[in-house]
Amino acid sequence: MNPISPRILLVRGMLAGLLAGVAAFLVAYVLGESKVDAAIAIEEAAAAGHDHGEESAPVSRALQATAGLGTGTLLYGIALGGIAALVFCYALGRIGRFSPRATALLVSGGLFVTLNLVPFLKYPSNPPAVGDPDTVVRRTTLFILMIALSALLSAGALILGRRLAPRLGNWNASVIASLGFVAVVAIAYASLPGINEVPADFPAALIWQFRLTTLAVQAAMWTTFGLAFGFLAERSIAPAPAPQEAVQPVS
């Protein structure tokens, strides 16, 4: 295959991340904004009985749901696209004889599980009106800690699988490493404190719809990135054409 610098793949990864950010924005806007509006309405209704005076929001809700949401998801997609491209550079050829497209999809799926799914199952996202403002620092710290633990455990499982592969074969080594990852994550789930600050009168259906929507946003982002970056990477790392021998003219 043609040699290619990590910088070129980084640029392509950020471009794929931009496309992934667009997909995430569309899913968040279509599926998520109605859930956010419903949660805000519940919060405002609960605060209506308290006389705190009228406070105007510095940014309108319409601007938050369009320009604010779009800017956030696009920047988030570009940043994650660059990180994923660097992971792809390391993984290509080291996790098996996969094509660039297959490697991109594997990297994308692995990062989705590591950075989103595993932390989500322990500390799922909450809509507005859910959560004590006094514990926001604690909740944020625990969530970031869960992401860091998941990333470290994922890297450890990858190293374990590579070391076991020569003796046990790729399949058996992958199964053992995956089971070890799940076991240690389960221990982390049991060790870290839980958080349950959902008000008793908050609609259960709304909170789970919101949580599933946030997971769908991340799934849409990583799926789009895997497909787009796999296409761009494969075109960049295409096999070099064999040089043609010059044909001598017949005299």
From the CB of residue 229, how many other CB atoms can be counted at a distance below 10 Å? 30
Nearest CA to 23 out of 224, 212, 231, 216 is that of 224
Compare 181 and 99 and report the one with higher pLDDT: 181
Q: Which of 2-6, 73-77, 145-149, 233-237 has the lowest mean pLDDT?
A: 2-6
Count the alpha carbons within 13 Å of 205 in the hemisphere toward its beta carbon: 1
**Which of 20-29, 62-71, 87-96, 193-202 has maximum average pLDDT?**
20-29
Q: What is the pLDDT of residues 55-99, one digit of tens each?
A: 555 667 777 778 888 899 999 999 999 999 999 988 887 777 788
> Alpha-carbon torsion 196, 202, 205, 211, what sign?
negative
pTM comes to 0.84
Q: What is the pLDDT of residues 39-52, one digit of tens each?
A: 888 877 766 655 55
CA separation for the pair 172, 168 (Å, rounded): 6
Alpha carbon 209 to its chain's center: 19
CA separation for the pair 152, 154 (Å, rounded): 5
Domain ranges of the chain: 1-44+62-130+202-239, 131-197
Identity of residue 36 = V
